[in-house]
Amino acid sequence: MSSRRSRSRQSGTSRITDDQINDLVSKLQQLLPELRNSRSDKVSAAKVLQETCSYIRNLHREVDGLSERLSELLATTDTAQAAIIRNLLMQ
Protein backbone atom coordinates (compact mmCIF):
# COMPACT_ATOMS: atom_id res chain seq x y z
CA MET A 1 0.00 0.00 0.00
CA SER A 2 1.37 3.42 -0.88
CA SER A 3 2.22 5.87 1.84
CA ARG A 4 -0.24 8.36 0.35
CA ARG A 5 -3.13 5.94 0.74
CA SER A 6 -2.12 4.90 4.24
CA ARG A 7 -1.83 8.56 5.29
CA SER A 8 -5.26 9.18 3.81
CA ARG A 9 -6.76 6.48 5.99
CA GLN A 10 -4.98 7.73 9.07
CA SER A 11 -6.18 11.29 8.61
CA GLY A 12 -9.79 10.14 8.31
CA THR A 13 -10.35 11.23 4.71
CA SER A 14 -12.16 8.90 2.35
CA ARG A 15 -10.08 6.72 0.06
CA ILE A 16 -10.64 6.74 -3.67
CA THR A 17 -10.96 3.24 -5.06
CA ASP A 18 -9.10 1.81 -8.03
CA ASP A 19 -12.44 1.52 -9.84
CA GLN A 20 -13.10 5.22 -9.30
CA ILE A 21 -9.64 6.09 -10.61
CA ASN A 22 -10.18 3.90 -13.66
CA ASP A 23 -13.57 5.52 -14.27
CA LEU A 24 -12.08 9.02 -14.02
CA VAL A 25 -9.22 8.13 -16.36
CA SER A 26 -11.75 6.73 -18.83
CA LYS A 27 -13.78 9.95 -18.63
CA LEU A 28 -10.65 12.02 -19.23
CA GLN A 29 -9.81 9.87 -22.24
CA GLN A 30 -13.22 10.62 -23.74
CA LEU A 31 -12.59 14.36 -23.38
CA LEU A 32 -9.29 14.28 -25.26
CA PRO A 33 -9.54 14.58 -29.05
CA GLU A 34 -6.25 12.70 -29.52
CA LEU A 35 -7.48 9.69 -27.56
CA ARG A 36 -11.26 9.82 -28.00
CA ASN A 37 -11.15 8.27 -31.44
CA SER A 38 -8.26 5.98 -30.63
CA ARG A 39 -8.61 2.59 -32.29
CA SER A 40 -7.38 0.96 -29.12
CA ASP A 41 -9.68 1.22 -26.12
CA LYS A 42 -6.81 0.25 -23.85
CA VAL A 43 -4.66 3.33 -23.26
CA SER A 44 -2.51 3.51 -20.14
CA ALA A 45 -3.52 5.88 -17.37
CA ALA A 46 -0.09 7.52 -17.66
CA LYS A 47 -0.70 8.23 -21.36
CA VAL A 48 -4.14 9.70 -20.59
CA LEU A 49 -2.65 11.96 -17.91
CA GLN A 50 0.21 13.06 -20.20
CA GLU A 51 -2.22 13.85 -23.01
CA THR A 52 -4.50 15.70 -20.57
CA CYS A 53 -1.62 17.94 -19.47
CA SER A 54 -0.62 18.56 -23.07
CA TYR A 55 -4.21 19.35 -24.07
CA ILE A 56 -4.65 21.80 -21.20
CA ARG A 57 -1.36 23.55 -22.11
CA ASN A 58 -2.55 23.85 -25.71
CA LEU A 59 -5.90 25.26 -24.58
CA HIS A 60 -4.08 27.87 -22.48
CA ARG A 61 -1.98 28.88 -25.50
CA GLU A 62 -5.10 29.10 -27.64
CA VAL A 63 -6.88 31.28 -25.07
CA ASP A 64 -3.84 33.53 -24.82
CA GLY A 65 -3.71 33.87 -28.61
CA LEU A 66 -7.40 34.64 -28.86
CA SER A 67 -7.15 37.18 -26.04
CA GLU A 68 -4.30 38.89 -27.84
CA ARG A 69 -6.25 38.97 -31.10
CA LEU A 70 -9.30 40.36 -29.30
CA SER A 71 -7.19 43.09 -27.68
CA GLU A 72 -5.80 44.03 -31.09
CA LEU A 73 -9.30 44.08 -32.57
CA LEU A 74 -10.62 46.27 -29.77
CA ALA A 75 -7.68 48.64 -30.18
CA THR A 76 -8.44 49.13 -33.89
CA THR A 77 -12.21 49.35 -33.51
CA ASP A 78 -13.99 52.62 -32.87
CA THR A 79 -15.06 53.36 -29.32
CA ALA A 80 -18.77 52.58 -29.78
CA GLN A 81 -18.12 49.20 -31.40
CA ALA A 82 -15.50 48.34 -28.79
CA ALA A 83 -18.00 49.15 -26.02
CA ILE A 84 -20.58 46.85 -27.64
CA ILE A 85 -18.05 44.03 -27.90
CA ARG A 86 -16.96 44.50 -24.28
CA ASN A 87 -20.58 44.42 -23.12
CA LEU A 88 -21.20 41.21 -25.07
CA LEU A 89 -18.13 39.61 -23.53
CA MET A 90 -19.23 40.50 -20.02
CA GLN A 91 -22.55 38.69 -20.36
pLDDT in tens, 13-69: 789 999 999 999 999 999 999 888 776 668 899 999 999 999 999 999 999 999 999
The pTM of the whole model exceeds 0.75: no
Task: Give pLDDT, residue 45.
Answer: 93
Determine contact, residues 15/8, Cβ cutoff 8 Å.
Answer: yes
- Band the pLDDT of 75: cuts 50, 70, 90: confident
Q: What is the DSSP letter of 6?
A: H
- If one looks up domain 15-90 in CATH, what number appears? 4.10.280.10
